[in-house]
Amino acid sequence: KAPFTGVPGTDKERTFIAIKPDGVQRGLIAAIIARFENKGFKLVALKMLWPTKEKAESHYADLATKPFFKGLVAYFSSGPIVAMVWEGKDAIKTGRVLLGATNPAAAVPGTIRGDLAISVGRNICHGSDGPESAVHEIANWFAPEEVSDYPRSLDEWIVSDN
């Protein structure tokens, strides 16, 4: 059985994806989930929660020295978010591709931010940027029993290298 944070580099790679408070307020939950679901990734955990300032700070700990950190923590804890774990081959890297560039002004059309957002301070979604942050973020927001390890009969129609 895979550790609940996933196994990077395998079909069990897992990434933490969140719909930020602005994405929830704007009614974009279903639209954002659909991008990941339609792509073929497997949803293994999902919940709505209102982040405390402390949890937002630990989530973004690596950005603590940035000038925008205080505002970022206020933004991320300003309302409920939808926290998710998505699984699949290259889920971390490809998840970032689906989100688009951090600044929506630079995000290409076809990406979530490129299609649905304008401003870097209101870019509607979050995705882990590498294997270490995926492990840290999944463990920051989820308990092991909240992540479901399950087979999908469709998997052989979604993943093959030959």
Residues that bind ligand IDP (CB under 6 A): 63, 68, 72, 102, 120-121, 123, 126, 129
4 carries a ligand binding annotation: no
Residue 113 binds which one of Mg ion, ligand IDP, none, with CB within 5 to 8 A depending on kind? none
- ∠ CA 147-92-157, nearest 5°, is 75
Measured from the CB atom, the residue of 52 and 119 that comes closer to ligand IDP is 119
123 carries a ligand binding annotation: yes
> Residue 125: what are its φ and ψ, rounded to 5°?
-150, 160
Measured from the CB atom, the residue of 78 and 158 that comes closer to ligand IDP is 78
Under a CB-based contact definition with an 8 Å cutoff, are residues 18 and 83 in contact?
A: yes
Binding-residue total with Mg ion (CB under 5 A): 1
* Contact flag: residue 115 with Mg ion (CB under 5 A): no
103 carries a ligand binding annotation: no
CA distance 160 to 162: 6
Q: How far is the CB of 121 from ligand IDP (least distance, A)?
A: 4
Measured from the CB atom, the residue of 12 and 126 that comes closer to Mg ion is 126
State yes or no: is 126 an active-site residue: yes
Among 11, 90, 129, 146, binds Mg ion (CB under 5 A): 129
Measured from the CB atom, the residue of 11 and 75 that comes closer to Mg ion is 75
Which residues, in sequence order, are CB contacts of 120 under 8 Å at separation 6+?
102, 103, 104, 105
For 93-108, the DSSP string reads HHHHHHH--SSTTTSP
DSSP code, position 65: T
**What are 109-113's contacts with CB under 8 Å, separation 24+?**
112/32, 112/35
**Footprint on this chain of Mg ion (rule: CB under 5 A):** 129
Catalytic residue list: 126
Binding-site residue set for ATP: 20, 68, 96, 102, 113, 123
